[in-house]
């Protein structure tokens, strides 16, 4: 997906496309994760759909649960969904920042051919 360190730096339009695709990929991961959480809170936590959506979005955003879980299955789901959400957050940050970090490192290590001849 990215150019090698010996290749020239990609044009700005390619970089912006990469950032946009990373953002879209992140939205897809968020939608799937929110769907998993909503269905889980609905099935295991015995919440209404809107309350399940609210709980899933609050956990996924790192804010914490809104409704307490009364059943054992709901508590277990909430535990695993919280752990899952933490991993998803770290993964999303990696997906979003990958093209930016790559461009920074590529610019940092790039040696121009004209500069190479001077040494």
**Is the residue at 119 inside a domain?**
no
- CATH (domain of 66): 1.10.287.70
| Residues present in the chain in total | 119
11 belongs to a structural domain: no
Question: Is the residue at 16 inside a domain?
Answer: no
* pLDDT for the residue numbered 12: 84
In which domain, by residue range, is 98 found? Answer: 27-111
Mean pLDDT by 10 residues, the chain (119 residues): 68 85 93 96 95 94 89 94 93 88 74 53
User: Which H or E run contains 32?
Assistant: helix 12-43
Q: Is residue 69 part of a domain?
A: yes
Residue 1 domain-assigned (yes or no):
no
pTM score, whole prediction = 0.76
pLDDT at 111: 56
Residues 6+ apart with CB under 8 A from 36: 56, 81, 84
Total domains present in the chain: 1
């Amino acid at each position: 997906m990215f150019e090698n360190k010996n290749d020239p730096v990609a044009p700005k339009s390619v970089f912006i496309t990469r950032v946009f695709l990373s953002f879209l990929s992140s939205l897809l991961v968020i939608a799937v994760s929110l769907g998993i959480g909503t269905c889980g809170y609905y099935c295991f936590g015995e919440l209404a759909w809107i309350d399940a959506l609210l709980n899933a979005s609050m956990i996924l955003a790192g804010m914490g649960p809104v409704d307490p879980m009364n059943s054992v299955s709901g508590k277990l789901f909430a535990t695993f969904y919280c752990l899952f959400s933490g991993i998803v957050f770290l993964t999303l940050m990696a997906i979003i920042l990958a093209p930016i970090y790559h461009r920074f490192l590529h610019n940092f290590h790039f040696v121009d051919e004209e500069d190479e001849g001077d040494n």
